[in-house]
Amino acid sequence: MNDRNPKTFHVKSFGCQMNVYDGARMAELLEAEGMSAAAESAEADLVVLNTCHIREKAAEKVYSDIGRLKREDGSRPMIAVAGCVAQAEGAEIPRRAPSVDIVVGPQAYHRLPELVTRAKAGERALDTDMPIESKFTALPARRKQGPTAFLTVQEGCDKFCTYCVVPYTRGAEVSRSWAAILDEAKALVDHGAREITLLGQNVNAWEGEDEKGRTQGLDGLARALDRLPGLERIRYTTSHPNDMTEGLIRAHGEVEKLMPFLHLPVQSGNDRVLKAMNRSHTTASYLAIIERVREARPDIAISGDFIVGFPGETDAEFEDTLKIVEAVNYAQAYSFKYSARPGTPAAEMDGQVPADVMDERLQRLQALLNEQQLAFNRATVGRRTSVLLERLGKKPGQLIGKSPWLQSVHLETDASLGDLVEVEIVSAGPNSLAGAQA
Ligand code: SAH
Ligand code: SF4
Ligand code: F3S
């Protein structure tokens, strides 16, 4: 028997930054309903598993997590499955895991309180609608924040890369309004945020009208946020190469608070594979963008995403991916083995690559990317730079922050969380830097 009158909740997020943002908004929503946050699932009357469907491993994890929620006395909390698995699998989830009380998709989570009420009455509550009304207008105002905050400005994807579930789990591309975004940014800054990361599945496809009715792109939004007092840093993620406008590239050289970091996934370095992926850019067009961005902002750090073992990828085609990595020289990157996702065109393609071949390709790619990341980190040693202090380190007096290039910097300081301090970088490892306050 589950808990029928939850007073405490815990939200566990498994996915991308937007999934983390959604998790924070669901927590705010439940708090506005008078519930309080518990630090762990084991202490909560309601557990929200905020899931990710992008790769098989991520999607399967939710089922083992559900199993683990059973308490020693045989009881369990009220269980809600939210996020992209909820959207993709819907009613299949309670069929496979009967202890699930609520299933709620990423475009319907503003209705979570109603779903909890229905679950309290013993009903199994499912909502995977993509309603016309925006969940954003129904969500309560932003609450207490740390020094860094996410802000969703664009959701959904119309690109339909052949391997990807996002267009199905998040729906069509939608941009939030200029006013809604600026209002939320102000609220975040009022609650202590000094850095805002603008989020979207295709964040650079954001489009809107400013208060004077002029059409604006993401660069216009960055320029408006640049004028927001109290905000120190602006970031955005994730961008698609095809939406990398001249205006946005120029903004990297002109907008002071826009950080010198660009996450621009290429996925593969081979044009046949890119075409089969329906990426609608080529290696040449990608490299041309990188060149223009570097002209605008020479010290910019480039990050990317890669998939190895896309169906039909040959050894020679994989070698092309290593070549583009050499050509770009990444500061940081994420790389994945292709995972066939139900309902996507690539899952039906011939030439699925064996697991051991994918393993070997991934190892080689990651070795190269790690080498580049270490070299990038080492190149900052001896430099003075600003660091935004974000969290406590393990040692007493140690704080951890981020450099403009998104590197973690550890330092001993009597400054406080949320401070922007001048630091000299004294040493570098593969994943972090050590600094001394300058
Ligand atoms: N909207 C973003 C990222 C979406 S998902 C973009 O277009 O860049 C994040 C990353 O997961 C993708 O960039 C891709 O590298 C990876 N990914 C997506 N689907 C995948 C799949 N089926 N198998 C392996 N990796 C995948
Ligand atoms: Fe997925 Fe491609 Fe859309 Fe990114 S652009 S979310 S990889 S379909
Ligand atoms: Fe995962 Fe959905 Fe994000 S599938 S990567 S949580 S958009």
54 is in an annotated binding site: no
Tens digits of residue pLDDT in 9-35: 999 999 999 999 999 999 999 999 999
Count CA within 13 A, CB hemisphere, residue 10.
12
**72 CA to middle of ligand 3, Å?**
32
pLDDT band for position 3 (50/70/90)? low
148: preceding bond cis by omega (within 30 degrees)? no
Say whether 390 sits in a helix, a strand or coil. Answer: strand
Query: How far is residue 394's CA from residue 233's CA, in Å, rounded to a whole number?
Result: 25
Say whether 53 sits in a helix, a strand or coil. Answer: coil
Give the pLDDT score at 2.
Answer: 53
Give the pLDDT score at 294.
Answer: 98
15 is in an annotated binding site: no
Geometric angle at alpha carbon 396, from 395 and 399, rounded to 5° = 75
Q: Among the atoms of ligand 3, which is closest to the Cα of residue 19?
A: 6
Q: Which ligand is nearest to the CA of 362?
A: 1
Pocket of ligand 3 (CB under 6 A): 15-16, 18-19, 52-54, 83-84, 165-166, 169-170
Residue 160 has pLDDT above 60, yes or no: yes
95 is in an annotated binding site: no
335 Cβ closer than 6 Å to some ligand 1 atom? no
Query: How far is residue 207's CA from residue 202's CA, in Å, rounded to a whole number?
Result: 11
Share of the chain above pLDDT 70, in %: 99
Query: How far is residue 253's CA from residue 231's CA, in Å, rounded to a whole number?
Result: 18
Query: How far is residue 45's CA from residue 236's CA, in Å, rounded to a whole number?
Result: 35
27 is in an annotated binding site: no
Query: How far is residue 380's CA from residue 339's CA, in Å, rounded to a whole number?
Result: 36
Residue 111 has pLDDT above 50, yes or no: yes
- For the chain, what is the mean pLDDT? 96
Say whether 244 sits in a helix, a strand or coil. Answer: coil
Q: Among the atoms of ligand 1, which is closest to the Cα of residue 344?
A: 22
16 is in an annotated binding site: yes
Residue 46 has pLDDT above 70, yes or no: yes
Q: What is the pTM of this model?
A: 0.96
Share of the chain above pLDDT 90, in %: 94
Q: Among the atoms of ligand 3, which is closest to the Cα of residue 53?
A: 4
The DSSP symbol for 426 reads: E
Give the pLDDT score at 1.
Answer: 47
Q: What secondary structure, in 3-state letters, does 109-121 show?
A: HHHHHHHHHHHHC
**26 CA to middle of ligand 1, Å?**
24
pLDDT (mean) for 57-67: 92
Tens digits of residue pLDDT in 364-417: 999 999 999 999 999 999 999 999 999 999 988 899 999 999 999 999 999 999
338 Cβ closer than 6 Å to some ligand 1 atom? yes
pLDDT (mean) for 291-304: 98
pLDDT band for position 242 (50/70/90)? very high
pLDDT band for position 426 (50/70/90)? very high
Residue 133 has pLDDT above 80, yes or no: no
307 Cβ closer than 6 Å to some ligand 2 atom? no
Comparing 68-77, 164-173, 184-193, 428-437, which segment has the lowest mean pLDDT?
68-77
The amino acid at residue 183 is D
**112 CA to middle of ligand 3, Å?**
19
- Rg for the chain, CA atoms, rounded: 22
| Domains of the chain (ranges, CATH numbers) | 8-127 (3.40.50.12160), 135-378 (3.80.30.20), 384-437 (2.40.50.140)
- For ligand 3, atom 7: residue with the closest CA: 166
175 is in an annotated binding site: no
Q: How far is CA 235 from the centre of its chain?
A: 12
Q: Which ligand is nearest to the CA of 169?
A: 3
Residue 290 has pLDDT above 50, yes or no: yes
Residue 182 has pLDDT above 90, yes or no: yes
163 Cβ closer than 6 Å to some ligand 1 atom? yes
Give the sign of the dihedral formed by CA 246, CA 248, CA 249, CA 254. Answer: positive
The 10 Å CB-count burial string (b at 16+, else e) for 392-420 is ebeeeeebbbbbbbbbbbbbebeeebbeb
- For ligand 2, atom 1: residue with the closest CA: 164
